[in-house]
């Protein structure tokens, strides 16, 4: 699963990395401890609309946008449902009423500097932070949805609510020693196909991207034990990413399994 991650790069840098236009209006902030229901940066690609709301079918725009983490289906009566839908399993999202419409035409990327996961031990849970060894952003595959209440007498949602979920998949290599699930990571070569709003999820180009990431992609990751300070969402600073000394880790990972298949 993916329940916490870090997103600390400036929007201008992300816009350059993901070949997008920054539409966050200066509201994005570095976050070392992204948690469910927070506002998160996403990369979306849509047909621009004119003043009357009519989309231009011949043009697409890729932008950075802020959305709330935790997908609220369009048919939900209460946006609180999103707190339970931060993740969607890539193997079954196309079959789930809450996710299938978004997967078909509202796919996105969630840039991350890395994600946290907890390895369960006999007496404790050791948090690990996984990131690209070269410092480049991870592109977590996601889906987004637009929600607006049918009845909003207090005008609490005048513009509706845009929310997103991270797709997850089976953990690969050493990552399976920490948890049996991981975010679905996409390499840059897959971004165009994933973000294309005109390609349905059933298309071969998209369906193939729902498989676990390749061993080659996983081999470029580093998995670092970090302080349990990350357990508290109120802790939010660079100290959360500082690796622990080997002697401070009860059960170190077997790093020789990094690029291998899931041993399960």
Closest Cα to residue 226, out of 214, 242, 215?
242
- Residue 262's pLDDT band (cuts 50, 70, 90): very low
* Structural domain boundaries in the chain: 4-114+136-212
**Tens-digit pLDDT profile for residues 148-176:** 888 776 677 778 899 999 999 999 999 99
Phi, psi of 66, deg, nearest 5: -95, 130
For residue 147, is pLDDT > 50? yes
Q: How far apart are CA 109 and CA 45, in angstroms?
A: 10
**Tens-digit pLDDT profile for residues 211-237:** 999 999 999 999 999 999 999 999 999
Closest Cα to residue 1, out of 125, 107, 118?
118
Q: Report, at the CATH architecture level, how domain 4-114+136-212 is classified.
A: Alpha-Beta Complex (3.90)
**Tens-digit pLDDT profile for residues 51-106:** 888 888 889 999 999 999 999 999 888 888 888 899 999 999 999 999 999 999 99
pLDDT at res. 1: 67
For residue 258, is pLDDT > 90? no
- Residue 256's pLDDT band (cuts 50, 70, 90): low
State the virtual CA torsion across 27, 31, 35, 41 in degrees, nearest 10. Answer: 50
Q: What is the set of active-site residues? A: 2, 117
């Amino acid at each position: 699963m993916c329940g916490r991650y870090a997103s600390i790069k400036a929007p201008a840098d992300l816009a350059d990395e993901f070949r997008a236009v920054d539409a966050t209006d200066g509201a994005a902030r570095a976050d070392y401890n992204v948690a469910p229901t927070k506002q998160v940066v996403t990369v979306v690609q849509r047909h621009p609309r004119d003043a009357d709301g009519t989309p231009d079918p011949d043009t697409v725009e890729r932008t950075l946008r802020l959305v709330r983490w935790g997908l609220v289906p369009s048919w939900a009566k209460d946006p609180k449902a999103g707190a339970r839908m931060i993740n969607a399993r890539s193997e079954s999202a196309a079959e789930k009423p809450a996710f299938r419409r978004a997967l078909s035409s509202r796919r996105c990327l969630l840039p991350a500097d890395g994600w946290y996961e907890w390895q369960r031990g006999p007496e404790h849970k050791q948090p690990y932070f996984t990131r690209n060894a070269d410092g480049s952003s991870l592109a977590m595959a996601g889906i987004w949805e637009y929600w607006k209440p049918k009845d909003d007498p207090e005008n609490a949602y005048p513009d509706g609510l845009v929310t997103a979920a991270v797709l997850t998949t089976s953990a690969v290599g050493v990552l399976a020693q920490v948890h049996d699930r991981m975010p679905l990571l996409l390499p840059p070569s897959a971004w165009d196909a994933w973000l294309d709003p005109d390609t349905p999820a059933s298309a071969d180009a998209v369906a193939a991207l729902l498989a676990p990431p390749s061993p080659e992609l996983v081999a470029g990751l580093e998995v670092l034990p970090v302080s349990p300070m990350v357990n508290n969402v109120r802790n939010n600073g660079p100290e959360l990413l500082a690796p622990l000394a080997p002697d401070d880790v009860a059960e170190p990972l077997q790093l020789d399994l990094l690029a291998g298949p899931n041993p399960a």
